[in-house]
Structures are given as structure tokens and as C-alpha cells.
A and B are shown apart, each in its own frame.
With several copies, the nearest count.
Chain A
């Protein structure tokens, strides 16, 4: 069966050029970067070269990049690292209601550990309320963590506005840029953040690798203990092939950003227009323009998302309900609830996340198939 993948926010295929870049580091240049001999030094050089490439993508310096095992670990390290380092100064953290579980559950863990967390709401378009955030700041606020772009509805948050405030108040500011990197420009200096999380597998790099940008001079505590790797902030033998692949993916992402984002925006807008035009009682979730070029989160009344997803899957089309992580749970998405959807509407939403290799023909086929699926499920629905 021909298969169409429109779930790039969950993960992306690794680019063949990335795999090619990784290959020598499995079998030939396989050294441990801590070893002093030739094999080790070869690995250490690859590591530092990769650090430069990743730093370059986001306008950082190489020494500001810590490699991790993925976006989740980067978020954990950033938030716990700042929290434990600064708990003497204060124990209050501000975040948003629409963060990824990697941030929300880390915050929840810190709450059990004596920290207080304020969850700032978003408007019905899914954009954070900056005034509310400013109001939430207290004398003991040590960290603000707000995502750059949301993984479910793709909305882009006012990071530069927030960083102005955080700088003024002398509060550390972390952003989870896992979804935005490679789709919109991400420059740590323009954004004005102190810490920023990235994940390799969302930008056509391998799974199991990520990075945390830590602005020079920002002290954080390690959360994994062991050897003295990664400036003593992340113990464990470095995953050199993974890191080399990640670095290659960042380089490709940087080169392709302009072309890709134009292509994705066109496809996204085409998909949204066609769906809204051809399927009754369908709606777009999230802000119409302040959203990732590749995200279309659509809502269909009277029917349920998983049933749509699996029906589309039988037609070879891969999409997602809410985020991949929460798609096994029965709770409607916290993000869709946060933008004010009724539970039954949240349950009836689908996320289409496009990739650079998707085509207009695929969009046509997807919309046709979707119309059929929606019709069939509505025929079965007692709510119509």
C-alpha cells in the first residue's frame, strides 16, 4: 500500500544523508571520546565538530551546547537543573498550560519536591497571555519555561516578549524549541532565552539524541551522575554516531529552512482550505497564522479522533490525535482543553503535521479520504 506520512511532529524519517554521515562512526571511527588514543581522539573531534554545527543552527557558541538523549532529557535537565541550583533564591516556577508532558510532568515532580508552579493560560487561539505571565511573577520566581511552538496545535508563543520581561526581572528563561527548530528561525540571541531544548528526531536526525543550549554563565545542576562528560552536566559515554547524525540534520535543516518552510506553509494552507471547504462542521484549532508552517490541527464535530485516525491508517495515511505521547490516554488533550474546546470537540480533533517530502497530490488524496472517513463515522454517530 502506498503510505502517506503526515505525523512529522511525532517523529521524522532520518534523512539518508544523515544516515550516511553516521555510518562510519559505528564500525570504523567507533572510539570512546574520553579515550586518549587515536580512536578516542577521532571520536572527540567528531563530538566537538558536531557541537559547532548544532551551535551554529541556533546562533549559540559550541561551549553552550550540552548533548542529551533527547528533548525530554533536555527539558528535565533545564528545569530541574535551574530549580535545584537556585532553590536558595526561591522556589517558584512559571510555565504555560500547553507545555509538552516533558515540561509539565517535570514541573509536577518539582511541586512534590517543595517548588510552586504557576500555569499561565492561553487564549482561544492557543497563544500565551503575556500579561498574565507578568502578573504571575513573584519575588521568589526563579524560572520561566514556555515552549516556542506547541506540539499539538503548532501555535508560536511570544518568546521575545517574555524574554524581555525575564531579563528585566532577572529570572532564568527556558524554552522548549523541539517543534520549532527546523521549521521557523530559532536564534537564541534573538529569542533572548537562557536555555533552549532541541530534539534530533524531529528534524530528520536520529532518535535518542538532543541538546540543551545553556547560555554562558548560567549555572545549573547535573541530574545524571557519573563520568565527567559534557562539562560535567551529563554523564555517560557520548553517543557519537547519534550526535554526528544530529549535527548533520541541523546543518541540513539550516540550509533548507527557507525552501522547506515555504513549501510546508503552502501545503498546510492548501490542506486547511480544502478540508474546511469540503467537509461540513470542520474547524481549525489554534491561531490561523501564528502557527508552525507544517501544522494543521483540525476538528470534526460528532465523531471521535482515534476512530478517524485508524480509518485513515487503513487508507495508508498516518496522522495523530493530540500528541503521540498522549494518544493512548483517554483524557482529551490538555492543550485543546486549554483553548476552550468542549471535551467532545477535543476528542474529535486530528493533527496533520507535514514534512518536506509531502506533496500537493498527497494533500488531495488525504482530503478525499478524510471526507469519506468523516462521512462514514458520522453515519454511525448518534450525535449527528
Chain B
């Protein structure tokens, strides 16, 4: 049912955890729908220096989260924002039709984290003005 890549990321997920002093945090999904992702990012010079996740969800959701963090790490914010919803699934060697929303969720989650970061940045600027 799942590609080997999915199963590999599911069984050995990269970047699990929290970042205590994260620059941005994104939460998407809802437990009642069966999946929730929290993504934490640390940004340095416009680059995703560190990223961690916690996910409640199926194997595809966990693998998508893990893959997303790998894809994002070391990239610039602009580059990460260009990652489309399907890219995560493609990197994972495809996902079953019914699970495509997990790929979407992962890209939504990192976007939410970046938005959170950007908003905090603009607040900081506001505050420093």
C-alpha cells in the first residue's frame, strides 16, 4: 500500500520533537479528523536552520511530516514556500489517493510555521520602531 520510502520515514522519522525557543510554530489539522501536526522552526539568515515536528496521525501523516522537515532543512524561506502540496508526496515515492491530504497537511504545516515566524518578525519590527 505504501512506498518503501514512506515506510522508511514512518519507522525512522527524522526531526521528531520540539524546539523550545522556536522562531515559528505551525499547527494544522485537528485530532477529530485523525491528524494534527505541530512544526517548529528555527530561522537563521533567512534559512531554516532547524526544524522539528510532532504528529498525531497515520503512517502517511508521520512520513509526510518527516519528509517535509528534511526537505525544508537548510533551505531559504523562499525556497520552502515554493514547495507545493504534491512535492512531499512525490519525494515519498507517491501516496495512496486517500492519503494525499497528508502531503498537503505537511506543506500547510511548514507554511503555517513560516507565517508565524514572519508575523513575529513583523511584530518585532513594529515593537522596535
User: Are chains A and B touching in the complex at the 8 Å CB cutoff?
Assistant: yes
Measured CB to CB, the residues of A under 8 A from B are 36, 41, 44, 302-307, 310-311, 314, 328-330, 332, 342-344, 347, 379-383
Check A381–B55 contact: CB distance below 8 A.
yes
What are the residues of chain A within 8 A of B85 when measuring CB–CB?
Answer: none
- Complex Cα gap A367–B11 (Å): 19
Known: A306-B59, A380-B55. A347 touches B34 (CB 8 A): yes
Check B58–A306 contact: CB distance below 8 A.
yes
What are the residues of chain A within 8 A of B10 when measuring CB–CB?
Answer: 307, 310
Check A344–B31 contact: CB distance below 8 A.
yes
Counting chain A CB atoms within 10 Å of each CB, which of B2, B56, B62, B101 scores highest? B56
- Complex Cα gap A382–B35 (Å): 10
Check B16–A310 contact: CB distance below 8 A.
no
Known: A44-B1, A310-B59. A382 touches B34 (CB 8 A): no
Complex: chain B residue closest to A303, CB-CB: B56
Check B1–A382 contact: CB distance below 8 A.
no
What are the residues of chain B within 8 A of A381 when measuring CB–CB?
Answer: 54-56
Selected A-B contacts with CB under 8 Å, 25 pairs:
A302-B56, A303-B56, A304-B34, A304-B56, A304-B58, A304-B61, A307-B10, A307-B57, A307-B58, A307-B59, A310-B7, A330-B33, A330-B101, A343-B32, A343-B33, A344-B31, A344-B34, A347-B34, A380-B55, A381-B54, A381-B55, A382-B27, A382-B37, A382-B55, A383-B56
- Complex Cα gap A41–B7 (Å): 14
What are the residues of chain B within 8 A of A382 when measuring CB–CB?
Answer: 27, 36-38, 54-56
- Complex Cα gap A328–B36 (Å): 19
What are the residues of chain B within 8 A of A330 when measuring CB–CB?
Answer: 33-34, 98, 101
What are the residues of chain B within 8 A of A379 when measuring CB–CB?
Answer: 16
B12-54 toward A: CB 8 Å interface, digit per residue (1/0)? Answer: 0100100000000001000111111110000000000000001
- Complex Cα gap A314–B10 (Å): 11
- Complex Cα gap A332–B38 (Å): 22
Check B16–A380 contact: CB distance below 8 A.
yes
What are the residues of chain A within 8 A of B55 when measuring CB–CB?
Answer: 380-382
- Complex Cα gap A39–B56 (Å): 26
What are the residues of chain B within 8 A of A302 when measuring CB–CB?
Answer: 56
- Return B6 CB to nearest CB of chain A, in Å: 10
Check B31–A343 contact: CB distance below 8 A.
yes
- Return A328 CB to nearest CB of chain B, in Å: 6
- Complex Cα gap A329–B2 (Å): 15
Check A329–B32 contact: CB distance below 8 A.
no
What are the residues of chain B within 8 A of A380 when measuring CB–CB?
Answer: 13, 16, 54-55, 62
Counting chain B CB atoms within 10 Å of each CB, which of A303, A328, A329, A382 scores highest? A382
B88-115 toward A: CB 8 Å interface, digit per residue (1/0)? Answer: 0000000000100100000000000000
What are the residues of chain B within 8 A of A303 when measuring CB–CB?
Answer: 56
Partner of A41, one of B1, B13, B57: B1
- Complex Cα gap A314–B59 (Å): 12
- Return A302 CB to nearest CB of chain B, in Å: 7
